[in-house]
Amino acid sequence: MSEFVHLHVHTEYSLLDGHSRIRTLLERAASLGMRAVAITDHGALYGAIEFYREATSLGIQPILGMEAYQAARRHTDRDPKLDATSYHLTLLSRDAEGYRNLVRLATKAHLEGFYYRPRIDKELLAAHSKGLVGLSGCMNSELCQRILRGDLKGAREVAAEFRDLFEPGEFFVELQDQGLPEQRTLIPELVRIARDLRLPLVATNDVHYVVPEDAQAQDVLMCVQMNKTVHDPDRPRMGDVPHFYLKSAEEMSALFGEFPEALRNTVEIAQRCRAHIELDRPRLPDFPVPEGFTPQAYLRHLCEQGLVRLYGRITPELRERLDYELGVIEQMGYAPYFLIVQDFVNFARSRGILTTVRGSAAGSLVLYACGVTDVDPIAYRLPFDRFLNLERYTLPDIDVDFMDTRRDEVIRYVLDKYGHDRVAQIITFGTMKARQAVRDVGRVLGMSYGEVDRIAKRIPPTSTLDQALEQDPELRRWSEEDDRVRRLVELARKLEGVARNASTHAAGVIISRDPLTDLVPLTRGKDDVVMTQYDMDSVAAIGLVKFDFLGLTNLTILDHALKIVERKRGQRIDLQQIPLDDQKTYALLGRGETTGVFQLESAGMRRYLQELRPSSIQDIMAMVALFRPGPMANIPAYIRRKHGLEPVTYLHESLEPVLRETYGVMVYQEDIMTVAQAMAGYTLAEADVLCYAIRKKVKDKLLAQREKFERGALERGVPKHVVDKVFEQFEPFARYGFNRAHAACYGLIAYYTAYLKAHYPAEYMTAVLCADSGNLERVALDVEECRRMGISVLPPDVNESGSEFTVVDDRTIRFGLGTIKNVGTSATEQIVRAREQGGPFRSLYDFCARTDSRVVTKRVVESLIKAGAMDSLGDRAALLAALDDALEYGARRQRQQAAAQTGLFAEVGDLGQPPALPQVPPLDRRELLRMEREMLGLYVTDHPVRAWEAVLRNHVAHRVADLQELPDRTQVSVGGVLTHVRPMVSKKDGSRFAVASLEDLSGAVEVVVWPKTYERCGEALHVDAVVVVRGRVDASEGRARLVADEVVPVESLAGGSNGPAKNGPRPLHVRVTTSEELYQLADFLQDRSGPREAYAHVVTLRGESVHRLRKGVPSDPEFPRQLEMLLGEGTVWEE
């Protein structure tokens, strides 16, 4: 062992107070000849298991520790004057018991002692000190702080107290020397106290980064943590003293040559610290089975019951498949896992919580029989081996989706059943991405926001800094020519990838058979959620089993829609009984009318659906699987082959049986398995290993699999060039494709949502609107879709609305009262309750008399009026004018009723009939719409753009909603109303520019008008102006905005008119998706011309084009219905 061992070391898991990446740190230690290193992050054990694994793999002895925060008093005290600060204390685990005590201390610090920091106290330490080595700590330790305050007597008492807290000989006085002035005082006093009390010395370096060159990066990291700049005089400065790095034994010897025992003791401590952690041995939780059953027998019992329920009887085919699956499960010892999953899923079902499984688990007949999944693996030909097989010995991974609004109920059930001490969610760590690092570093360096923003936006969201510099010559030029940018990039590169924060994993929940505090440190996340301090990989490494509880909004939408249908129509729909050959559903999908339909609503997907015209659930599954990077290239071939426009061919005759269903096109990950089986003689289990090797891109395994595949195929007479071509097709599917089981699960949900939209449009879209209510852009898109479907979406109404969106009738939806700005839950409940008790409100005065003004305040009532929620009670202008009088009338009425109820007065005067609303001029249309948008976030009763649709159609190529799916820098033209304009002046040169918000019927987008464009078009930029913006998409921030090249008022495009003519019928629109339909339309219109303006929307694989019909169409009201009978429901609509 080296003559020195680092025992006080921080990694990136000290979260913004440590720069050392674990692998880099340990590789540096190895290069310095160090055979042992400790990890002592601040207050937590976040990185302990990763450190342990990496150190062991490099032949370095890992020493697991923590720099604990010691409370000034008790760890549960929280007086801001006395407990805001805490001391530091270094703890190291000596053996297995020491590690367990370290885990318990870390847990109690987070769950009981958190106040600014996770804290322990001396009493807690005394109870859990066995197996631990204590070092007195850095300058922030209690011992050092007392010395620095001049309290030498108190310092001696503290040292003696710690000596007695630990086992004999296990407390060391810690010496550090990074050249800080305070250390000139500390070192001699620490040595004196140690010698007086006969305490051993130990030398450490409080390592925060790996090499001296990283000192500035550590400095910046701490500034990020404290929200300071490097120019702030009142901040700790680690960069000024670049000595907190992993020094060599020689460097430490030079520092502490006067105290050789302090150096020797580092080696002595390392030799004591031999805590061993058993890795990669699963600790499966127990499941309580009925008396007389083993877990295996009970699982078989449940499966056999389920198969009889599902199939009527257990056929030989089912028996063979069941025996095979149960054999694999039993041999792997996973029966308790399957029992736990079926238990919480069936609990959810018993509570009416919709649930489904995603991923390869749906290929299990066992899970289907137990009620975990609704997908029949036999009917859909789903292989079990893709999920679990003996060739790939991994824990099962069953991802279960629940309604996102009720997922927590299932987790609470698990907590109650298995114990709060045995169940926890999993932590996850956010790391600094390149763009975030640039922004953080730029702010810390004091650079202007505009300058940093300009650089950050050149970096694609998923790129590293090096990739961005390689791909962007302009960015590279800036970093080479500008010293400030060069420094920014260099520091950002050092921070890139460093852990920045901790949060709760979206799905992972641990269930343990033993108390978790014996196995893993715990912490508390948002909403008081208890979670592990170890991330998903570390939790798996120590053998704890993860169960995935995911929330899926579309399940909530389905459930809500079904409840609305039952309430409004009295029909109870069972999703499992919905016919999978419903023509109305496939017609909707074939028209691409899939806004709000799960997995199928993107613009690209809609175009492909219109070409595909799906006719079976298999088509939907295929589209769900193919619409991903890599496999997407095969969509055109799939569509053409389905419609007979291209011959179905196979790379080899052996592939015909396995790819016949998908027209010779590889669609699913399982296709790799069946192709390998058919062409190269693989078993399904071996083929799953092939899939895994390709997906993970493990070089040696990939090479071995290629050789095996080639050998097997050549032995079966497949030509070499065919073998190579087939293998080359594997990669995009293994990496990006869905497995067939996942596509089946999600394809079914997509079908269910499409079915409800086709058959119960108002109910379904109400459920979609409710789910999207927190996202105004989505609500705008949904409202526009309702309009296209012929469903009116009306403003809220105090006499009709609930808190959420409400179905009025088959063709009408109302906004909810809870969607109005300033109207909270309490006010909404009060209004609905008053209406239910006393009937509809008859007037504003009646409303104010019947609602509690302490809850339904003046601000609430004013917001209701402005939103149009009281339009049924009178004109908005009159209602606003009468508001104060009505509130006073209501207050007097309530005082009168209260007095009458007390019985103290013989009689109470009658207020008489409420006065009529005052006669005031009505508000103009523009003001009404402005109020509506202010209160609801969007226009509802009308939209400024609608009056100009005929003009805009000839000058606009894109909707706002389309921009999010377009590539960066795409040239576009968008029409809309300016709802916000903010003129600005450049600090750099005083030039003027503007940032605006442009809204059309599909949503809103930010528009940037840079100085050159502003100079030409500035006069067009004012709120409420309807304009056409021509420019390019800027998707550099991950969310599209529009950079304007030109802003044109719509009036100038209409030849100066004030809008389209208001007389005559509205233009008619018709959609055609095939050549056959286009010929049908032409024949139908041959003798049917007329004065009504009409447009044909022709949809092809290349997109949608709009053509004005030269002759026009008849204005007969029956004509649209006749046309729709020809082309199908939903193909014809009016503006």
| 638-661 per-position pLDDT tens digit | 999 999 999 999 989 999 998 998
Residue 795 has pLDDT above 90, yes or no: yes
In-domain check, residue 522? no
Q: Quick one: 1025 and 1075 in the same domain?
A: no
Q: Quick one: 670 and 737 in the same domain?
A: yes
The band of 953, judged by pLDDT with boundaries at 50, 70 and 90, is confident
- Res 908: pLDDT: 47
Mean pLDDT of the 974-994 span: 88
* Three-state SS letters, 1037-1089: CCCCEEEEEEEEEHHHHCCCCCCCCCCCCCCEEEEECCHHHHHHHHHHHCCCC
Q: Quick one: 1038 and 1074 in the same domain?
A: no
Cα distance between residue 43 and residue 18, in whole Å: 13
Evaluated on CA atoms 397, 399, 400, 405, the torsion sign reads positive
- Res 910: pLDDT: 56
- Res 1002: pLDDT: 85
Residue 596 has pLDDT above 70, yes or no: yes
pLDDT in tens, 462-501: 889 999 999 888 899 998 888 999 999 999 999 999 999 9
Q: What ranges make up the beta strands (E) of 407-561? A: 423-431, 499-511, 522-524, 530-532, 546-552
The last residue of a domain, from among 1053, 1085, 1117 = 1053
Mean pLDDT of the 704-732 span: 89
SS3 content of the chain, % helix, strand, coil (to 5): 50, 15, 35
Evaluated on CA atoms 574, 577, 580, 585, the torsion sign reads negative
Instruction: Name the β-bridge partners of 623.
Output: none
| Helices marked H in 13-95 | 22-31, 48-57
- Res 896: pLDDT: 81
The band of 237, judged by pLDDT with boundaries at 50, 70 and 90, is confident
Q: How buried is 373 (Cβ within 10 angstroms: 0-12 exposed, 13-18 middle, 19+ buried)?
A: buried
The band of 448, judged by pLDDT with boundaries at 50, 70 and 90, is confident
- Res 1036: pLDDT: 76
The last residue of a domain, from among 1053, 1087, 1113 = 1053
Torsion, Cα 402 406 408 412, to 10 degrees, reads -100
Least confident range of 795-804, 903-912, 968-977: 903-912
**Nearest residue to 87 via CA among 17, 159, 137:** 137
Q: Quick one: 597 and 697 in the same domain?
A: yes
In-domain check, residue 260? yes
In-domain check, residue 423? no
- Res 1056: pLDDT: 47
Q: Quick one: 948 and 933 in the same domain?
A: no
Q: Quick one: 743 and 828 in the same domain?
A: no
DSSP 183-240: HHHHHHHHHHHHHHTTPPEEE---B-BSSGGGHHHHHHHHHHHHT--TT-TTS--STT
Domain that holds residue 1046: 943-1053
Using the structure block, give the residue that is written with the tokens 């078993």.
683
Beta sheet of 1132-1134, edge-to-edge order = 1103-1108, 1094-1100, 1068-1072, 1132-1134
CATH of the domain at 979: 2.40.50.140
Q: Quick one: 833 and 957 in the same domain?
A: no
Q: Quick one: 77 and 41 in the same domain?
A: yes
Instruction: Name the β-bridge partners of 973.
Output: 1030
- Res 1057: pLDDT: 44
The band of 1064, judged by pLDDT with boundaries at 50, 70 and 90, is low
Cα distance between residue 935 and residue 824, in whole Å: 13
CATH of the domain at 29: 3.20.20.140
The band of 1061, judged by pLDDT with boundaries at 50, 70 and 90, is very low
Q: State the CB neighbour count (10 A cutoff) for residue 1091.
A: 11
Q: Quick one: 105 and 25 in the same domain?
A: yes
The band of 751, judged by pLDDT with boundaries at 50, 70 and 90, is very high
The band of 1114, judged by pLDDT with boundaries at 50, 70 and 90, is confident
| pTM, to two decimals | 0.85
Q: Which two tokens stand for residue 907?
A: 């009689």
**Nearest residue to 87 via CA among 77, 72, 75, 102:** 72
Residue 911 has pLDDT above 80, yes or no: no
Q: Quick one: 1086 and 980 in the same domain?
A: no
- Res 542: pLDDT: 95
Residue 193 has pLDDT above 80, yes or no: yes
In-domain check, residue 1094? yes
Mean pLDDT of the 68-76 span: 94
The last residue of a domain, from among 256, 272, 288 = 272
- Res 905: pLDDT: 46
Least confident range of 115-129, 290-304, 657-671, 1064-1078: 1064-1078
**Three-class SS state of 831:** helix
In-domain check, residue 281? no
> In this predicted model, which residue has the larger pLDDT, 984 or 738?
984
- Res 729: pLDDT: 84
> In this predicted model, which residue has the larger pLDDT, 516 or 687?
516
Instruction: Name, in order, each residue with C-beta under 8 angstroms of 42's C-beta and a sequence gap of 6 or more.
Output: 10, 14, 15, 17, 18, 66, 67, 69
- Res 902: pLDDT: 58
- Res 1119: pLDDT: 79
In-domain check, residue 801? yes
- Res 752: pLDDT: 98
Instruction: Name the β-bridge partners of 9.
Output: 207
Cα distance between residue 118 and residue 62, in whole Å: 24
Q: Quick one: 1025 and 895 in the same domain?
A: no
Query: Structural domain tally of the chain?
Result: 5
User: What does DSSP assign to residue 729?
Assistant: H
**Could you give the percent of the chain with pLDDT greater than 70?**
96
- Res 1067: pLDDT: 80
- Res 1059: pLDDT: 47
Max mean pLDDT range (228-242, 427-441, 756-770) = 756-770
Q: Which two tokens stand for residue 242?
A: 């670049």
- Res 1101: pLDDT: 54
In-domain check, residue 510? no
Mean pLDDT of the 613-633 span: 91
**Three-class SS state of 593:** coil
Cα distance between residue 776 and residue 1005, in whole Å: 12
69 and 109 Cβ atoms separated by less than 8 Å: yes
- Res 264: pLDDT: 96
Mean pLDDT of the 588-597 span: 94
Torsion, Cα 369 371 373 376, to 10 degrees, reads 40
- Res 389: pLDDT: 85
Mean pLDDT of the 374-400 span: 89
The band of 796, judged by pLDDT with boundaries at 50, 70 and 90, is very high
Residue 737 has pLDDT above 90, yes or no: no
HSE (side-chain half, CA atoms, 13 Å) at 456: 21
Cα distance between residue 532 and residue 524, in whole Å: 8
Query: Mean pLDDT in the chain?
Result: 90
Residue 200 has pLDDT above 80, yes or no: yes
**Could you give the percent of the chain with pLDDT greater than 90?**
70
Q: Which two tokens stand for residue 1095?
A: 């447009």
Least confident range of 700-714, 766-780, 898-912, 1058-1072: 898-912
Cα distance between residue 23 and residue 39, in whole Å: 12
Q: Quick one: 933 and 963 in the same domain?
A: no
In-domain check, residue 672? yes
pLDDT in tens, 272-330: 999 999 998 889 999 999 999 999 999 999 999 999 999 999 999 999 999 999 999 99
